[in-house]
């Protein structure tokens, strides 16, 4: 239905204007509750949020930092999109951290959004490293709508859980047990510790959650130097001692305790034996990771058959009884690729969560977009085509080096593939291509050189068969300002302009929700000022309607969106509010953006959006 009794247009709200205010704007008739900000206690001793006093251990019992992709799992649900609309598990990723807001030692120092506090005798305090690792990962939060219409956290609850950069994880699929992942921690190559930089997510047809490991490479350093890195380290950008600064992203390898859980971020080879050092630690990252939010004791599993790259997220075609499972994932880096996985085995609804094994065996493909509007899925199978023993040794080698394999078969270099979404009415697949300052030669699928504004591409699989190896594609939307954009054959108008599409989600009625991520270095400056703060739009592909629904506060990106099954409550994440505060201003205690204005610092948080008339969101 479309909401109001199945009548009327899918999109009925009045557009909100572009804004650069430090607040959240939604259309008339809508209201917003700020919910589960970073630091909200959910488990254990329920430590109250206090950014200057909370320890690393406290952070493991609180909601993480920098909310990203998320899903609402109806409580006791067997289906990820059916069941209760008033109680469920809100499961969300925490992509990265801003150390300056995490530590008392940061106060008064000149720190930008990525910097760590000054080293002490060349070291980092171990508890700061612990707090940063524990602010990453995933939160499982049992939530319920109360009688007054506000949503609250259910605590204690057996479901509430934090998964962090330290949580033990299984490795499954073709890479499990191979030399690539044998480490001091797991000499037999079956386990690894933690997940990092979880950007978007995925929801399997059997009601489990998948977290994507996106920009994990920079969390590691090889001190042998740029040329001393293994090929699987260099193609992905593991840091080295000529990097600036010459540490990993957060310098965890410099923890003053010297403990292995921090030391492992230095992946230099130290001797002959790979299980006596940390050279293979980074090979445990770059995967899609599955876990069951309804089983708080479950061990997350890294599904290596889905490939290793800067996974933005993953989107599944609806499962069909007796057919293979099909999913898509983008590699968000400039000139990287879009992938598809087709399982070898077939889906059986009655098998329930045992269907997870389908993700361990199948064919990984990479997309080639031809200029004539056709496309091909090129298989990444060891021994097929150019993936010969001259270049690769095994399917595990192909998967650990997925980007090199995709280069080798001649896939199409894309403008930073971010989220995907599948139209529930047609099975058409949409992907955001957020921008690409590096592109020097346009093609039809990436039609702009130095693509500053981004676009959305879409395709239909041949014969509407998700397992097909051919497809037809077109450009759905060219993002940008009024004088350089296109939707449905026309330039975007004032209610539609936006830049750098990133988050993307179809609700079950067929509304396409589009979220933007103008980088914090560009937002509200120069040519980017006309777009204001990052925002969310809503499109109806059938009526070719597009309209701005929400604008977020200063410094943030809007990312992560889902509704309850009835469509009447929407959850949207606001990530890194106030990140535009400069290092000098931070030192002076002058913050650019303090949303949601709950204490000393800005805090990532979830917006709970409802309609005053109780209707479906978007109508």
Q: Which does 214 bind (CB under 5 to 8 A by kind): Ca ion, ligand FEO, none?
A: ligand FEO
Among residues 325 and 366, whose Cβ is nearest to ligand FEO?
366
Closest separation in Å from C-beta 315 to ligand FEO: 14
Q: Does 22 bind ligand FEO (CB under 6 A)?
A: no
Q: Does 213 bind ligand FEO (CB under 6 A)?
A: no
Please identify, using beta-carbon distances, which residue of 10 and 561 lies nearer to Ca ion: 561
Q: Kindly state whether residue 281 participates in binding Ca ion, applying the rule CB under 5 A.
A: no
**Residue 418 within binding range of ligand FEO, rule CB under 6 A:** yes
- Closer of 30 and 38 to ligand FEO (Cβ): 38
Q: Give the one residue of 517, 528, 552, 617 binding Ca ion; rule: CB under 5 A.
A: 517
Least spacing, CB of residue 321 vs ligand FEO, in Å: 34
- The interface partner of residue 267, options being ligand FEO, Ca ion, none and the CB cut-off 5 to 8 Å by kind, is none
How many residues line the site for ligand FEO (CB under 6 A)?
7
Which of 126, 140, 143, 199 touches ligand FEO (CB under 6 A)?
199
The contacts of residue 143 (CB under 8 Å, 6+ apart) are 35, 36, 87, 88, 89, 90, 151, 152, 153, 154
Give the whole-angstrom CA distance, residue 89 versus residue 100: 30
CA nearest 66: which of 109, 21, 114, 18? 114
Q: Closest residue (Cβ) to Ca ion?
A: 517
**Rounded-to-integer distance, Cα 266 and Cα 279, Å:** 8
Contact (CB, 8 A) for 423 and 431: no
Residue selected from 502, 507, 509, 520 as contacting Ca ion according to rule CB under 5 A = 502
Number of C-alpha atoms within 13 angstroms, CB side, residue 50?
8
Token reading at 25: 């704007």
CB atoms inside a 10 Å sphere around CB 346: 15
Enumerate residues 6+ apart whose C-beta is below 8 A from 315. 202, 327, 328, 329, 419, 420, 421, 422, 429
Cα–Cα dist 41/473, whole Å: 46
Q: Residue 532 Cβ, how far from Ca ion at the closest point, in Å?
A: 17
Question: Of residues 189-218, which lie at the interface with Ca ion (CB under 5 A)?
Answer: 199
Beta-bridge mates of residue 31: 610
Q: In the complex with Ca ion, which residue's Cβ is closer, 382 or 505?
A: 505
Segment 297-336, which members bind ligand FEO (CB under 6 A)? 312, 332
Burial degree of 578 (CB within 10 A; 0-12, 13-18, 19+): buried
Which is nearer to Ca ion, 340 or 576 (by Cβ)? Answer: 576
**Residue nearest ligand FEO, Cβ-based:** 199
Query: Whose Cβ is closer to ligand FEO: residue 175's or residue 367's?
Result: 367
Q: How far is the CB of 354 from Ca ion (least distance, A)?
A: 31
CB nearer ligand FEO, residue 418 or residue 540:
418
d(Cα 173, Cα 578) in Å, to the nearest integer?
41
Residue 200 CB, nearest approach to ligand FEO (Å)? 7
98 is a contact residue toward ligand FEO (CB under 6 A) = no
Which tokens sit at 82? 């059916």
Cβ atoms within 10 Å, residue 156: 11
Interface characters, 148-187, with ligand FEO (x: CB under 6 A)? ----------------------------------------
Choice between 247 and 499, CB closer to Ca ion: 499
Q: Are 281 and 261 in contact (CB under 8 A)?
A: no
The stretch among 101-109, 157-165, 236-244, 517-525 that binds Ca ion (CB under 5 A) is 517-525
How many residues bind Ca ion (CB under 5 A)? The answer is 3
Residues 58-87 that bind ligand FEO (CB under 6 A): none
CB of residue 2 to Ca ion, shortest distance in Å: 29
Determine contact, residues 142/151, Cβ cutoff 8 Å: no
**Residue 358, contacted partner among ligand FEO, Ca ion, none, CB below 5-8 A by kind:** none
How far are the Cα atoms of 68, 292, 563, 594 from residue 572, in angstroms, in the given order? Answer: 9, 22, 9, 18
Q: In whole angstroms, how far apart are CA 87 and each of 80, 118, 154, 480?
A: 13, 44, 9, 39
Among 95, 213, 232, 376, binds ligand FEO (CB under 6 A): 95
Task: Return the number of the residue (130 or 310) whose C-beta is nearest Ca ion.
Answer: 310
Q: Report the residue number, 313 or 375, with the smaller CB distance to ligand FEO.
A: 313
Three-state SS sequence of 158-211: CCCEEECCCCEEEEECCCCCCHHHCCCCCCCCCEEECCCCEEEEEECCCCCEEE
Smallest gap from Cβ 540 to ligand FEO, in A, equals 25
Sign of CA dihedral 542, 548, 551, 557: positive
Question: Of 229 and 452, which CB lies nearer to Ca ion in the complex structure?
Answer: 452
Nearest distance from C-beta of residue 459 to ligand FEO, angstroms: 20
For residue 284, the SS3 value is: helix
What is the C-alpha separation between 480 and 31, in angstroms, rounded? 28
Q: Which is nearer to Ca ion, 280 or 580 (CB)?
A: 580
Alpha helices in 293-336 (DSSP H): none
User: Which residues lie near ligand FEO (CB under 6 A)?
Assistant: 95, 199, 214, 312, 332, 418, 502
User: Which residues lie near Ca ion (CB under 5 A)?
Assistant: 199, 502, 517
């Amino acid at each position: 239905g479309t909401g109001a009794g199945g009548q009327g247009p899918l999109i009925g709200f009045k557009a909100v204007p572009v804004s650069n205010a430090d607040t959240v704007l939604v259309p008339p008739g809508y209201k917003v509750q700020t919910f589960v900000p970073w630091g909200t206690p959910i488990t254990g001793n329920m430590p109250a949020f206090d950014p200057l006093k909370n320890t690393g251990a406290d952070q493991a019992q609180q909601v993480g930092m920098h909310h990203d992709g998320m899903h609402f799992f109806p409580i006791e649900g067997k289906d990820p999109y059916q069941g209760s609309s008033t109680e469920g598990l809100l499961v969300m990723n925490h992509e990265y951290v801003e150390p300056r807001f995490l530590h008392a030692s940061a106060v008064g120092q000149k720190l930008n959004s990525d910097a760590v506090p000054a080293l002490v005798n060349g070291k980092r305090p171990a508890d700061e490293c612990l707090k940063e690792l524990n602010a990453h990962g995933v939160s499982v939060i049992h939530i319920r709508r109360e009688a007054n219409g506000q949503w609250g956290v259910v605590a204690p609850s057996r479901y509430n859980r934090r998964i962090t950069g330290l949580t033990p994880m299984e490795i499954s699929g073709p890479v499990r047990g191979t030399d690539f992942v044998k480490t001091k921690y797991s000499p037999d190559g079956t386990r690894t510790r933690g997940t990092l930089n979880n950007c978007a997510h995925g929801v399997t047809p059997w009601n489990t959650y998948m977290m994507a490991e996106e920009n994990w490479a920079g969390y590691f350093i090889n001190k042998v130097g740029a040329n001393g890195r293994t090929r699987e380290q260099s193609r992905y950008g593991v840091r080295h001692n000529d990097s600036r600064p010459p540490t990993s992203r957060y310098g965890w390898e410099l923890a003053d305790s010297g403990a292995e859980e921090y030391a492992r971020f230095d992946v230099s080879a130290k001797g002959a034996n790979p299980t006596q050092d940390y050279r293979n630690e980074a090979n445990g990252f770059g995967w899609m990771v599955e876990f069951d939010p309804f089983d708080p004791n479950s061990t997350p599993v890294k599904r290596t058959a889905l490939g290793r790259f800067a996974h933005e997220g993953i989107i599944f075609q609806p499962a069909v009884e007796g057919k293979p499972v099909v999913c898509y994932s983008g590699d968000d880096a400039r000139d990287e690729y879009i992938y598809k996985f087709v399982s070898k085995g077939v889906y059986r609804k009655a098998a329930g969560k045992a269907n997870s094994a389908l993700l361990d065996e199948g064919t990984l493909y990479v997309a080639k977009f031809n200029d004539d509007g056709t496309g091909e899925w090129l298989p990444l199978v060891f021994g097929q085509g150019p993936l010969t023993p001259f270049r690769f040794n095994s399917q595990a080698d192909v998967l650990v080096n997925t980007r090199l394999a995709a280069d080798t078969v001649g896939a199409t270099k894309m403008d930073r593939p971010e989220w995907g979404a599948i139209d529930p009415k047609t099975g058409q697949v949409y992907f955001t291509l957020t921008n690409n300052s590096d592109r020097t030669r346009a093609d039809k699928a990436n039609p702009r050189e130095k693509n500053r504004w981004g676009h959305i591409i879409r395709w239909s699989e041949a014969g509407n068969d998700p397992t097909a190896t051919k497809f037809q594609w077109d450009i759905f939307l060219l993002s940008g300002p009024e004088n350089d954009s296109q939707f449905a054959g026309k330039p975007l108008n004032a209610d539609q302009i936006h830049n750098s599409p990133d988050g993307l989600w179809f609700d079950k009625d067929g509304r396409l929700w589009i979220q933007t991520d103008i980088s914090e270095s560009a937002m509200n400056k120069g040519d980017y000022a006309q777009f204001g703060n990052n925002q969310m739009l809503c499109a109806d592909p059938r009526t070719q309607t597009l309209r701005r629904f929400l604008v977020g506060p200063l410094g943030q990106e809007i990312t992560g969106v889902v509704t309850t099954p009835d469509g009447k409550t929407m959850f949207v994440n606001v990530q890194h509010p106030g990140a535009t505060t400069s290092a000098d201003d931070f030192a002076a205690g002058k913050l650019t953006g303090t949303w949601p204005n709950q204490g000393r610092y800005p805090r990532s948080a979830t917006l709970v959006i409802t309609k005053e008339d109780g209707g479906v969101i978007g109508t």
